[in-house]
Structure 1
Amino acid sequence: MTSYLIPGIYREDLFPKPIPEFLTGVPAFIGFASQGTINQPERLTLWTQFSARFGEPASEGYLSDAVQGFFSNGGHIAYVIRLNDTLEIEAALEQALEALATINALDLICVPDLVRFDVETVLRMQTQLLEHCQALNDRFAILDALPTQVLVQQTRLSSSECAAFGALYFPWVQVSSRMIPPCGHIAGIYAQRDRDLGVGQTPANIRLEEVVDLSVAVSDADQARLNPLGINCLRSLPGRGIRIWGGRTLSPDANWRYINMRRLFVTLARWCDRTFADVAFEPNEFRLWVRIERELTAFCEALFRQGALQGSTPAEAFYVKCDAETNPPEVRDAGTVITEIGLAPASPAEFIVVRLIHGNAGVAFAF
């Protein structure tokens, strides 16, 4: 602290702390490791930090492979948490999720080591992950398919009320000479897509890096059966490499069918929690309503410019309403502020139809 010896007026230049950047595509990886503090999330920004904090890869685990796949596919920031291997797996997972609940900087959850267990245990734990994401409403689960039980897995998971908070990927990927679940590589694609185009874009039709093969060659007939069920296939496409060829959640509800739709609303919820944390106990009157409406409108306009919303104008893409109508006296007396937000998410173009028109002038293409 500066010492002032002479009475008078002094000027100090104070620089406010920068507001942390609002990021998406930040996963938490949960799994077994040979060292490191149990249930203590560690923030990594480089793959090389993994071994320094968690030791050599566990011989039967997939945690290190998943984290490496994340960074090799465009990921920049991840949290890694070591499971307590002295407990039953379901209890260990519950403790890890509790440790992650207060971290609002992440929005994805991956647990590659779940697939080491029997089918019933996997289904219970993956349902637990979906319930965790729904309860917090600020994260989304990337789930690995069971190699030979994916249809059973989809049936059980899609029947859950929280099915919209996760996506299932099939089959496994080969890295070097080893087959591993794909969630880490997929999470890297989510992060890359978010950074390049925004969270409203579907993380699909992107080549997976550091993958040499798939455990199953998915045919067109296979995908015609799996895609409508919400099973996102990885495909080896001639001349285009191995790519994500699906963008659906596990939900049968058409409103939440696509990953970009669910994640768009998850991101909105995260942004609101972060932006409006300081308005608690503010006077519930016109000036507060104007502030909320102004800041939400700016955020939604940014989503519109990214192409996350439908419509040719912002008015067609969204609306924000926070006024005396949404906050009548009885609402204000209860200490509540109500804002209505309507979004029109852009649906992905899953099926692009090209028509060939045969006529006297020859063949014409119509898109």
Structure 2
Amino acid sequence: MSTMKTPGVYVVEKNAFPNSVVEAATAVPAFIGYTEFAKDGNKSLLNKPWKVNSLAEFRQYFGGAPTPKFTVTEAKEGDEEDPKLGISFLELNGKKYSVQRDDKYNFYYQMRFFFANGGATCYIVSVDEKYTNDLSEEKLTNGIAALLKEEEPTMVLIPEAVYLETVDSCSNAQVAALTHAGGDMKNRVAIFDVFNGFMDDDTKVNDFREKIGTEFLDYGTVYYPWLNTSIVPDTDITFLNFTEVDKIVPILTEADKDGKLTDFIANVGKKPEELAVLDIETTHKVLARHSSAYSELMREMLLIVNMLPPSTAMAGIYTMVDATKEVWKAPANVGVNNVISPTVSISFKNQEDLNVPMNGKAVNAIRYFVGEGVKVWGARTLDGNSLDWRYINVRRTMIMLEESIKNAAKAYVFEPNTANTWVTVKSMIYNFLNGIWKRGGLAGSTADDAYSVHIGLGDTMTPEDILEGIMRITILVAISRPAEFIEITFQQQMQKS
């Protein structure tokens, strides 16, 4: 207050209420991957985290879908199917053919999967553009470093890691993401897929568990298996997706025994620039309807490009659950949109080792239930043996509480470390936690059972702490946990009437 020297009336305003804690955002994923381009006007966005709010914004700054290219060749003895590499077999005209996808770019489709399942605001880190280079472990891993200065993201994903050449390369990228989440930042979780997770093979899950390591497991979670989706519509795949059309024309001609489709088959052999848009659309529609060989090829190509790992869909589900039911609701027992079926059918018995393994590295299953569709049926972190951090919603709720209170407490840095400040800080945190408890985020029939805040000399601080400028605050919270196992007991009783 200024010194009063002149006679008159002086107005003094005093704050009646303490600062409040603003709840930190909980569902802001950061995705790292390959895009068509990475530009904001003339400014490059390569390896720069950029916030987008919709698929339309993603296309504006990072481009659209790749043009998947497929090579069809007559299968040789010893050839093996590999869905991850887009290699599958197809019988046409009595012969066995290999259908192979020549590229691995799926990041755009995975972003579609994210937004289709409730995704909203997210960060994109483009590590390369033009869809011209092979996927690189080094580039994907380097993309993580770009997120070190970003405080807002609460999830980190490298969905294309599972398309790298070897399981070791995939694991290296995943370990780097886990170290970033739990070691460097401590304010986000990493969501993973299983390398070759389209296979019904326990060794693939075991490989993941062995190679993910033992550090920061409570900051990571993984989902299995991959999913057959409908993200890529059938209109996106035509004869323009064939790499060597000269090998396709004989296959279609041989199948066209009546010769009624000769003119349309001839269009398949032409270069795209030689055809009008109407000719392309008409040729595709006619051949798809009247040529069984062509429709089988289209169907196989569509199945290959639509098989996607589930992590990006899970990021969308986390976002949707947070928006509708809060972060402390486990993101499980929730349907997955735009999914036809899991690539692996998991039974009740099969899931036992996935969910409760000896090493605690739980793998969350995505299962099909008759009459209910495809659902997420697991909500554990990779630290399943920890009673503190077993559930992903507990870890994410704690991150939200920590970040919210930490940001609010910054207002009291350099304030007097005295009783008046302690009372104000305690009141601020208490009010925040009381609101969380009333909304169901903390467990307890009374506020005292749900949380407590401790601060003060002789309680959390010593005289030496005060001399060294340290204010210590201890907060105890009882975070609500999911009812993962429900036991219903039946017992017969004597007839009473």
TM-score (norm 2): 0.66
Question: Aligned match of 1:30 in 16, 32, 35?
Answer: 32
CA–CA separation in structure 2 for the residues paired with 1:347 and 1:21: 20
| Alpha-carbon spacing, 1:124–1:267, altered in 2? closer, same or farther (3 Å) | same
Q: Unaligned stretches of 5+ in structure 2?
A: 1-20, 39-44, 69-103, 231-302
- 1:58-73 alignment runs, 5 A limit: 58=66, 59=68, 60-73=104-117
Question: Aligned match of 2:363 in 221, 228, 231?
Answer: 231
Q: Does 1:332 align with 2:466?
A: yes
Higher relative contact order (CA 8 A, sep 6+): 2
| Alpha-carbon spacing, 1:361–1:43, altered in 2? closer, same or farther (3 Å) | farther
- Number of positions where the alignment pairs a residue of Structure 1 with one of Structure 2: 343
- 1:39-58 alignment runs, 5 A limit: 39-58=47-66
| Alpha-carbon spacing, 1:87–1:80, altered in 2? closer, same or farther (3 Å) | same
Which residue of 2 is the match for residue 15 of structure 1? none
Report the Cα offset of residue 291 of structure 1: 2.5
Does the Cα contact within 8 Å between 1:65 and 1:184 map onto a contact in 2?
no
Question: Aligned match of 1:311 in 433, 444, 463?
Answer: 444
| Alpha-carbon spacing, 1:216–1:326, altered in 2? closer, same or farther (3 Å) | same
Report the Cα offset of residue 32 of structure 1: 0.8
The alignment yields a C-alpha RMSD, in angstroms, of 2.1
Report the Cα offset of residue 160 of structure 1: 1.5
Question: Equivalent residue of 1:356, what SS?
Answer: coil
- 1:277-288 alignment runs, 5 A limit: 277-288=410-421
CA–CA separation in structure 1 for the residues paired with 2:379 and 2:23: 27
CA–CA separation in structure 2 for the residues paired with 1:22 and 1:224: 35
Question: Aligned match of 2:328 in 200, 205, 215?
Answer: 200
Does the Cα contact within 8 Å between 1:293 and 1:320 map onto a contact in 2?
yes
Which residue of 2 is the match for residue 242 of structure 1? 374
| 1:102 alignment partner AA | K
| 2:346 alignment partner AA | V
Does the Cα contact within 8 Å between 1:104 and 1:270 map onto a contact in 2?
no
Does the Cα contact within 8 Å between 1:127 and 1:160 map onto a contact in 2?
no
Does the Cα contact within 8 Å between 1:284 and 1:332 map onto a contact in 2?
yes
| Alpha-carbon spacing, 1:277–1:63, altered in 2? closer, same or farther (3 Å) | farther
CA–CA separation in structure 2 for the residues paired with 1:61 and 1:334: 55
| 1:220 alignment partner AA | F
Report the Cα offset of residue 224 of structure 1: 1.3
Report the Cα offset of residue 329 of structure 1: 1.6
Q: Does 1:166 align with 2:202?
A: no
1:236-291 alpha-carbon deviations (Å, 9 max, x no partner): 11111111000100013222111111112211222123222232222222232222
- 1:144-223 alignment runs, 5 A limit: 144-146=193-195, 147=197, 148=199, 149-157=204-212, 159-176=213-230, 177=303, 178-223=306-351
Q: Which moved more, 1:228-237 or 1:306-315?
A: 306-315
CA–CA separation in structure 2 for the residues paired with 1:180 and 1:153: 18
Q: Does 1:138 align with 2:193?
A: no
1:56-96 alpha-carbon deviations (Å, 9 max, x no partner): 23442232222222222122211111014779844323432
Which residue of 1 is the match for residue 151 of structure 2? 104
| 1:241 alignment partner AA | G
| Alpha-carbon spacing, 1:200–1:206, altered in 2? closer, same or farther (3 Å) | same
Which residue of 1 is the match for residue 87 of structure 2? none
CA–CA separation in structure 1 for the residues paired with 2:429 and 2:313: 33
| Alpha-carbon spacing, 1:224–1:189, altered in 2? closer, same or farther (3 Å) | same
Q: Which moved more, 1:162-171 or 1:351-360?
A: 351-360
Question: Equivalent residue of 1:48, what SS?
Answer: helix
| Alpha-carbon spacing, 1:30–1:286, altered in 2? closer, same or farther (3 Å) | same
Which residue of 2 is the match for residue 78 of structure 1? 122
1:170-224 alpha-carbon deviations (Å, 9 max, x no partner): 0111222311111111011111111122111111000111111111111112111
1:294-346 alpha-carbon deviations (Å, 9 max, x no partner): 22222222221232222111111111111122122211222221110111122
TM-score (norm 1): 0.88
| Alpha-carbon spacing, 1:189–1:340, altered in 2? closer, same or farther (3 Å) | same
Percent identity over the alignment is: 29
| Alpha-carbon spacing, 1:296–1:183, altered in 2? closer, same or farther (3 Å) | same
CA–CA separation in structure 2 for the residues paired with 1:44 and 1:20: 23
CA–CA separation in structure 2 for the residues paired with 1:98 and 1:24: 21
